[in-house]
Structure formats: C-alpha cells, structure tokens
C-alpha cells in the first residue's frame, strides 16, 4: 500500500520530466565538480521539481477531471487533493532550505530556486498566456547556471542559450499530446495559439539548434 502511495506521489510530480531535469543537474555537477556533491545537488534539484509537478496537478485537477485524465493520480483517486496539497506545503520549505544550504550554496541555490519559481508561475499564470515559453527559457538556463555559480564560475553564454532553447523546445513538444483538449479548456499558451503542426515544427527546430550549439562548443 505504501509503495502504491509513493508511486502516486512520484507520478503526480510528472516523474519522467522530473527525473530528466534531475539527471541533467547530476551530469553538470559531475562535470564541474565531482560525484560526492553531485548526488546531493541532484537530490535538492529533485525536491524542487516535486513542487513544480505537484502544484501543476493540483491546479489542473478540475480540468483533468473534466477530460477524464485517469492517468493522473488525483483523477484516478490513488491520492487525494488534500494529501497532495499537504505534501506540497511540507516540501516547499524543505526544498528551499536544502538548495540554499546544500552544495549549490546561497548563490547557486537562489538561481535554481528562481527556476522553480518560474515553473510554478507557468502552472498558475503563463500557461494561459502567449508568453508561456518565458518560464521555460529562464528555468532551463537557471539549472546549469546554478551549478556554475556553485563552483564560482560564470556560466558561458552558449550554456545559457542552449538551456533556454532546449527548454522552450521541450515546452512546445510537451503540450502536443493534449493541445486540442487545452484549446477546449481555454488554455491559450503560445503552442495552443499556433496549433499542433506549427508547435511540432518549432519544437524540432529549437531542440536541433540547442543540440547544435552544445556540439559545436564541446568539439
């Protein structure tokens, strides 16, 4: 029973994207530091991603019910909104403190928490705005930047640009599966405005440019 509950909480945190961001932070940390602090950095980043994912599912609960998204734990009933809300409020101070006093340090932790704030702002506001790519652009640049600041280095512009482009590309890619339902629910982010085909093209283009930037600067 406890294992099922744990799986529900992890699924509500959007486990795939959460682990992808966590893995990216670990790779950056091992490249710029060493494995010891890298594991701790990955864990503190993971805590921040939990808050983003949980707040998203809580805010979207009514709309998920409307569209019968039974793949969501709240709709499936494997956890209740009250329990998820309680877990979110418990983990917010834990995530903030862990990032500020952990290996990222105050400067790096603050930059990463800026990215977490962008994720939450997207859930509650930017999702419904033509400026929906903005939080992704900032948050996905803030992630690698936080690790650079943790080791007292200035992040290269190509790292920030690559992170931003990759984040925005992922934003357009991530909404493709639900874009029609989002449009029915008056969710008018930029991908929903330009439509499915244009969003797919934009996603492929931005991700390709981001990969090219990283390859060129690491060759």
Token pair of 95 as six digits: 């995530």
Identify the domain containing residue 26 by its residue range. 2-217
User: What SS3 state is found at 155?
Assistant: coil
* pLDDT tens for each residue of the chain, 219 residues long: 577 788 999 999 999 999 999 999 999 999 988 888 999 999 999 999 999 999 999 999 998 898 888 999 999 999 999 999 999 999 999 999 999 999 999 999 999 999 999 999 999 999 999 999 999 999 999 999 999 999 999 999 999 999 999 999 999 999 998 898 888 888 889 999 999 999 999 999 999 999 999 899 876
Question: What is the rounded (10 degree) CA torsion for 69, 70, 76, 82?
Answer: -20
Q: How many CB atoms lie within 10 A of CB 197?
A: 9
Locate 57 and state its tokens. 């599912």
Total domains in the fold of the chain? 1
CA 6 and chain centroid, separation: 20
Query: What pLDDT, in 10s, does the model give residues 159-197?
Result: 999 999 999 999 999 999 889 888 888 888 999 999 999
How many residues make up the chain in this entry? 219
**Using an 8 Å Cβ cutoff, are 110 and 147 in contact?**
no
pTM: 0.94
CA distances from 164 to 141, 213, 214 (A): 5, 11, 12
């Amino acid at each position: 029973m406890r294992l099922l509950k744990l799986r529900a909480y992890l699924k509500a945190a959007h486990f795939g994207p959460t682990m992808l961001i966590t893995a990216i932070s670990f790779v950056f940390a091992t490249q710029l530091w060493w494995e010891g602090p890298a594991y701790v950095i990955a864990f503190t980043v993971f805590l921040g991603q939990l808050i983003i994912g949980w707040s998203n599912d809580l805010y979207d609960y009514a709309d998920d019910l409307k569209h019968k998204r039974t793949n969501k734990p709240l709709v499936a009933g494997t956890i209740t909104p009250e329990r998820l809300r309680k877990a979110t409020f418990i983990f917010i101070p834990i995530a903030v403190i862990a990032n500020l006093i952990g290996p990222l340090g105050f400067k790096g932790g603050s930059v990463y928490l800026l990215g977490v704030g962008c994720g939450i702002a997207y859930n509650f506001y930017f999702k419904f705005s033509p400026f929906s790519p903005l939080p992704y652009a900032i948050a996905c640049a803030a992630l690698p930047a936080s690790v650079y600041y943790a080791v007292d280095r200035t992040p290269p512009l190509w790292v920030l640009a690559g992170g931003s482009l990759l984040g925005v590309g992922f934003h357009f890619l991530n909404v493709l599966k639900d874009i029609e339902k989002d449009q029915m629910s008056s969710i008018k982010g930029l991908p929903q405005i330009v439509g499915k085909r244009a969003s797919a093209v934009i996603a492929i283009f931005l991700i390709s440019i981001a990969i090219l930037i990283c390859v060129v600067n690491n060759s």
